Every structure is written in C-alpha cells, then in structure tokens.
Amino acid sequence: MTLQNTSDQWGWLSKVFHWITAVLIFIQIPLGYYADDLKLSPLKIDMFVWHKSIGMLILMLVILRLLWRIKTTIPSAIAGTVLEKSLAAAAHYALYCLMLALPLSGWVISSAANFPVKLFWLIPLPAISGPDESVKLLATEVHEVCVVTLILILIVHIGAAFRHHVLLHDNALKRMWF
C-alpha cells in the first residue's frame, strides 16, 4: 500500500485520515447529545471536555487532511451518471465544510459561554470570542443545524458506499479500505 493516492486507489495516509475521523465522529455525535442532555454537574463538564477535545482533534485532522488532499492526487470518480457523480462530489464537499463548521462553531459556543477549556485536561484552549450571549445563541443554532445536516449526509454517504459495494459491485468502498 502506498502513501500517495493514485488515480484509482486511496493511499494509506488518506485512508487513515478517513477512518480515524469516521470513528471520532461516531463517538462525537452521540457524546454531544448525551452531554447536552445532562443536568449541570461535574459529569456534564467532564463529558463536554471529552466532546470539545475530540472536536478539536477532528478539526486538526480535517485541516491536515485538506492540506494533504491539495498536495496529492485524488482517485477519479467511480463510474456513474453525471447526476450521481455531481451528488457524490457535492456530498464530499459538504462533509468537509461540516467537519470544519462543527468544531469551529462549538469552539465559539464554548468561548462565548465564558467556559475555559483544557483539551484532554492538559492543553488550555484559547477563547475565540469574548463572553457574549447573542454570539453564543447564534453559534449554537449553527452547531445544531450543522450536526443534523451532517447526520443526514452521513446516512447518504454510508448508504451510497454500501450501494456501490453490495449492489453495484464496484470498488468504491474497497479502495478506501485497507
């Protein structure tokens, strides 16, 4: 397995980025809803430290992934209709946007709510907004709309991967697997 992507196969670095991010997002979404539902308690604060820590980790990985994506070749689109290819491209584009917007809006919520954060109980995260109720409410709206959109697109993304693998028998899923 090569480091670099080729025209028909993802390289191992892109695969590692994809699957680590996938696992983190699958932890992150339920964790966010769970922590949000808890009444204010030390447990809630700890759960949000996990949520914020994982969120910042995802943000960092997505930035590195985008830099790598710019630097390396991208495997060509799987055979399909123009509409299918456009939809796939749009979904991938939206996923990248959401993977940036969610941690960034979460960071704004945390900052505007005046809550200091130490990522993984170690690294202080600087505030990117002063305490501000209206900024917090706006960022919360963005965060909520983004997460619902992300869930919907992930359903399509995963559904499409299985459709390619199970029904169309092409290598869409295989070329992202190890």
Partner 1 sequence: MLSIGNRATNKLCLIALIAMLGYQPAVAETWQSHAPNSTLEFAASYQGLPINGRFNQFSVTSFTDQLEQPTQLNVAVSITSADMGSSEFNQAIQAADWFNVDDFSEATFSSQQIRPATKESDKTMFIAHGILQLKGLRKSIAVPLSWHNNSSDQATITGELTLDRSDFAIGTGEWASGDQIGLAVRVWFTVQLDKIND
Nearer to partner 1, 39 or 169 (CB): 39
Nearest to 99 by CA among 153, 176, 138: 153
The residues pairing with 125 across neighbouring beta strands, listed in sequence order, are 117
- The CA distance from 72 to 50, in Å, is 32
45, two tokens: 């604060």
Contact string 67-106 vs partner 1 (x = CB under 8 A): ----------------------------------------
DSSP sequence for 80-136: --HHHHHHHHHHHHHHHHHHHHHHHHHHHHHHHTT--EEETTTEEEPPSS-S-HHHH
Contacting range for partner 1; rule: CB under 8 A; set: 4-12, 27-35, 55-63, 115-123: 115-123
Among 38, 74, 131, 174, binds partner 1 (CB under 8 A): 131
Q: Please answer whether residues 49 and 117 qualify as being in contact, where contact means their C-beta atoms are separated by less than 8 angstroms.
A: yes
Among 27, 73, 90, 133, binds partner 1 (CB under 8 A): 133
Site for partner 1 in 20-49 (CB under 8 A): 40-42, 45-46
Nearer to partner 1, 90 or 123 (CB): 123
Among 92, 115, 140, 173, binds partner 1 (CB under 8 A): 115
